[in-house]
Each structure stands twice: as structure tokens, then as C-alpha cells.
Chain A
Amino acid sequence: MSKHTALVAVAVIAGVVLIGLALVYWIEPAGSLPSWLPGHTSGSGHHHVKHGLAAFLLGLACLVFAWFRSAPKKQQHEA
């Protein structure tokens, strides 16, 4: 696997994980989040909507990066 392909793969995996994380933030209350996640608060019923949005935006950015990076050579210009 070339360095270029590896970078695209990492970006796709990171994008999917971050979007998954966003869903977790939106669905699970703060008390049910894994203790290692930012925003975990024991017994709290609050949903971290903004944390979810931040994770979603980052995930989307990773996927867009992968989309540009994986473009065929002849089409790739600057991104």
C-alpha cells in the first residue's frame, strides 16, 4: 500500500469513526457515554449536541479530504 493510499484510508476511517462518535453524542446522554469520552458526566441525562456537531464536522472534513485525495491523477489539481 502506498503512502498516498494509506493516507486516504486513514482519512476515511477517521471520518467514519468521527461521524459514528457524533451519533453516539446525539443518542446517548452524558451519563451513558464511555468514561474516556470528553463530556462524560456520571448520572447526567444531558445530551451533548454540540460535541456531536463538532465530531460530525471533523468527520465530514476527513471524508472530503479523502474524496479529493483519492481522485484520479489526471483530474487532481490543487486540493
Chain B
Amino acid sequence: MISYSQAILLGLLQGVAELFPISSLGQSVILPRLLGWDIHQNDSYFITFLVATHLATALVLLGFFWSDWVRIVKGLGRSLRDRGIDPADKDAKLAWLLVVGTIPAGILGLLLEHRLRAVFASAQSAALFLILNGVLLYGAELLRRRAPAPETGDGDRRVADGVGWKEAASIGAAQALALIPGLSRSGATMGGGLLVGLSNEDAARFAFLLATPIIGAAAVLKLPELIGSQGNGVRGQALVGALCAAVTAYFSIRFLMRYFETNRLTPFAVFCFVEGIVLTLYFAL
């Protein structure tokens, strides 16, 4: 079972790692192993605990981008009413880009989650995939279509202009990579955004908007486990962990949105690569 101190540490880590492109699932598999905790990724109480922390992160994301989501939902409604997307209606275009990006990720997640969790549940494999995550992030920066530069104006409008339908589907599907501990959801979507020509700031914005329904839906789907008998003995810890995750998620997203105005993914690529190498050697010895 998870203690309250473990719940606090894991919650704080989850809020940061879910939004930073360093694989929250990977970090939450590795930390218990490093600290010698008897917690495993596939333990039912740990999954229940993660549901709460994910829900908290999704709510923070929703709140942070609340005004964007209100515009996006209104745009979605307008396009359905008009049975088409007005080229001038960037909110409607962004809404459908998010739908197109979320469907493949949702379907892949629903169908593959259990199998991938079973195969890649160990800290050793998470460390190896962290190395790959670092390579992917660095590769996205190398292959980006445009040089990083400060942006002006409405970020949602720039995203709607810069991303096409096939690109949205590809970036969205790339989120399914995050089912493998060690590979980052936000890293995959930010990297995808860079490859289609977005700036770091806009790629981060699109990644966080895409993440909200996926993280939220995954958490809501498993909410019965938290409320039901599976949540017995872990609800208090889950609540504490969720509060900690909410706090760090809020500060993480504030930091990252400013950071990506002028900075790149490269430091996170180096971090994942070095962490993966060090941990792989540590686990092997």
C-alpha cells in the first residue's frame, strides 16, 4: 500500500512529469524502484492512485486554458450548426484539429493500454525508453522546419493556421507512445508540432490542449476504481497525491508556457538521455 509520504512525493512528481516532456509514467515506475518502495506499476491500488493524480492534472490544464476551451467549444458548436468550418473561424478549426488528434490517441490507448503496461512495466525498460525519448526530442529539434523565434498575437490562431488535418491526426496518434513508460506524451506532441512547422511555444500550447481531453478521459474512465472497493485504503493517499499533483502541475504549466516562448526542447532531451543512461547502468550493476 502507499503511505502518505510516498503519496506526497509521487503526487509532486506526477504534476511535474506529466507536463514536462520527461515521461510521467516512466518516472513513476523508476522512483519506487530507486527508493526501494514495494510499489509496482500494475498494482491495482497504484493504478487507482494514478487515476486521482491524472484527474487533478487534467483539471489544472482545463482551468489554465479555460478561456481557450470556452472559445474552442463555441467554435465546435458553430461548425456543427453550420455543417462546415468557416476558414475565418480559427476556434472551430482548432476544435476539430483537437478532435482529429484525440480520436486516434483515444482508440490506440483504449486498445493497447493493458498489453503495453504488461510488457513494459519494469524500471529497466522505462530507463531504456527514456534514452529513446531523449533521442526523439533532440531529433525533433534537429529536424524542425523553422528556427525558434518569439511569437506575437493569438497562439490558438497560429496553431489553427499551422497544423493540417493529417498532421493533427499524426501528432495525436503519437500521444499513444506515452503508454510505454519512458516515452513522453507531451514530448511526442511537442516534437510533432515542431516537425510540422510550429514554434516551441505553439507546439507546447497544442500539446497541452491535446493532452487535456486524453488525460481527463483516461482518469474519468477509471474513476469507478477509485470510488469502488478497489479504492479502499488508498483514497486518502490519492486525495493528498492529487492535491500535490495539482500544485506542481499548475506551476509547471506556468513555467513551461513562458519557457517555450524563447527556449527549446534540447535540455529535456539531454536530461532524458543522461537519466536513461545512468539508470540503465545502475539497474544493470
A residues sitting closer than 8 Å to B (CB atoms) are 50-51, 53-54, 57-58, 61, 64, 67-68, 70-72, 75-79
The bracket for how many chain B residues form the interface is 10 to 19
Q: Which listed residue, A57, A58, A71, touches B83 by the CB 8 Å rule?
A: A71
A-B contact pairs, 17 of them (CB 8 A): A50-B110, A50-B113, A51-B110, A53-B110, A54-B107, A54-B110, A54-B111, A68-B83, A71-B83, A75-B83, A77-B82, A77-B85, A78-B84, A78-B85, A78-B86, A78-B93, A79-B96
* The 8 residue pairs across chains A and B that have the minimum distance between CB atoms: A71-B83, A50-B110, A77-B84, A78-B85, A54-B110, A54-B107, A76-B84, A79-B85
* Beta-carbon nearest neighbor of B106 in chain A: A57
In the bound complex, what is the Cα–Cα distance between A77 and B96 (angstroms)? 14
* Beta-carbon nearest neighbor of B93 in chain A: A78
In the bound complex, what is the Cα–Cα distance between A13 and B79 (angstroms)? 23
Contact flag A79-B79 (CB < 8 Å), given A68-B84, A71-B84: yes
In the bound complex, what is the Cα–Cα distance between A78 and B99 (angstroms)? 15
Q: Knowing that A70-B83, A77-B85, A79-B84 are A-B contacts, what are 14 other residue pairs whose CB atoms are under 8 Å apart, sorted by A's residue number?
A: A50-B111, A50-B113, A51-B111, A54-B106, A57-B107, A58-B103, A61-B103, A71-B82, A72-B83, A76-B84, A78-B87, A79-B83, A79-B85, A79-B96
Q: What's the minimum C-beta distance from A58 to chain B, rounded to whole angstroms?
A: 7
Q: Is B80 an interface residue (CB 8 A)?
A: yes
Cβ of B111: which chain A residues have Cβ within 8 Å of it? 50-51, 54
Please indicate which of the listed interface residues B84, B87, B113 has the most CB atoms of chain A within 10 Å of its own CB.
B84
In the bound complex, what is the Cα–Cα distance between A57 and B93 (angstroms)? 19
| Contact A58 B107, beta carbon cutoff 8 Å | yes
Cβ of A67: which chain B residues have Cβ within 8 Å of it? 80, 83
In the bound complex, what is the Cα–Cα distance between A77 and B221 (angstroms)? 35
| Contact B83 A76, beta carbon cutoff 8 Å | yes
Cβ of A76: which chain B residues have Cβ within 8 Å of it? 83-84
| Contact A57 B85, beta carbon cutoff 8 Å | no
Cβ of A50: which chain B residues have Cβ within 8 Å of it? 110-111, 113, 221
